[in-house]
Copies of this chain bind each other. A is one copy, B any other.
Amino acid sequence: MIDERKQRILQAIIDDYISSAEPVGSRTLARKHDLGVSPATIRNEMADLEMLGYLEHIHTSSGRIPSSKGYRFYVDGLIPPKPVSDEEKSLIDRWYKARVKRIDEVFQETARLISQVTKNVSIVLAPQVSQAAFRCLQFLPLDDHRAIAVIMTDAGFVENKIVEMPSGAAFEDFQRMAGVINRSLAGRILRSIQGTAMKQIRDEIQDESLYESALEVIRRALDSEKRERLYLGGATHMMEQPEFQDVDRIKDILLMLEEEELIKDILHAHRGEGLEVSIGQENENSRIKDCSIITATYHLDGELLGTIAVLGPTRMEYGKAMSLLEYMNTNLANVIRRFHW
């Protein structure tokens, strides 16, 4: 159905279109690639490929451009491997070393880096604190009626909250409470902290108002970081792409990117093991039917932490973007480990 010559032609067309952004015609294709056949033959093959749905015709007498199905075929088999070069790896390494001092900067700079290399928008979904394991809780006295609760998790996060002490409670009561909570919750995934554990704490504390404070602290730790943080990069790089030379289109994309919930949903839809590519029409969201998204999940010690993604026009350098994401998601674990204990 789609023989080897058709494949070669399809690949040549897509490679060409990806690098030039111009519809590609039979004559130029014959000139540039040494396919061993004449333009007329290529035309015939192109007509077949269009019939089969791999190519599209804007209107008669413009060259062909790949359809989503064409890109899909390309991504699934034809894609020329383009590994991350050693220079790029060392650039990435130096970048992290120079710019990252705090854990949130890891994600921000990862986003920046990905967009820098791919010239596209990148999205980094940072791990939720609430899916990290509780490690320990400590109180620091602030004045007579307030203290700072410092909560540490296994994922390297340190959260602090100012809490009011119930009137009549002494700081020692708080210390005791911390002990109770630490014993009950150590190692628990924050998100999974629920009824039974809390009941145990209640029984041990034996003081209603103090228990309320404990509850408050834990709830806040869960609450405030329940939302996964989203880091974006590359709005300016996007503007280098010929398909984003229209201000309204750019605005549209940027507005969409501001809708955190939407973006998270899109990323959550792709949580498989390896890389996932969603091409053009394959995207649910109508605003990015002419875009592709490549997603990759990153892990630490086997635990799913988050997702990194590249969003760009369907005419995207899939090979480059995919190998970069592949490299980054292994690399990210090492970088995050530095903030770990």
Task: List the number of copies, as a whole number.
Answer: 2
Per-position contact with B for A306-341: 1 when CB-CB < 8 Å, else 0? 000000000000000000000000000000000001
Task: Count A interface residues, CB 8 Å.
Answer: 30
Per-position contact with B for A72-94: 1 when CB-CB < 8 Å, else 0? 00000000000000000000000
Docked-complex contact A142 and B152, CB < 8 angstroms:
yes
> Measured between C-beta atoms, what is the minimum distance from A27 to chain B in Å?
31
Residues of B contacting A148 in the complex (Cβ-Cβ under 8 angstroms): 150, 152, 158
Given known A101-B224, A152-B142, A160-B150, contact A235–B254 (CB-CB < 8 A):
yes
Residues of B contacting A250 in the complex (Cβ-Cβ under 8 angstroms): 239, 247, 250
Residues of B contacting A240 in the complex (Cβ-Cβ under 8 angstroms): 251
Query: Chain A interface (Cβ within 8 Å of chain B)?
Result: 101-102, 136, 138, 140, 142-143, 146, 148, 150, 152, 158, 160, 162, 224, 235-236, 239-240, 244-248, 250-251, 254-255, 258, 341
Closest 8 CB pairs of A and B: A239-B251, A158-B160, A138-B140, A236-B254, A101-B224, A239-B247, A245-B247, A236-B251
What would 29 A/B residue contacts be, using CB atoms closer than 8 Å? A101-B224, A136-B140, A138-B140, A140-B150, A142-B152, A142-B341, A143-B341, A146-B341, A148-B150, A150-B160, A158-B160, A160-B160, A162-B341, A235-B235, A235-B254, A236-B251, A236-B254, A236-B255, A236-B258, A239-B247, A239-B248, A239-B250, A239-B251, A240-B251, A244-B247, A246-B247, A247-B247, A247-B250, A250-B250
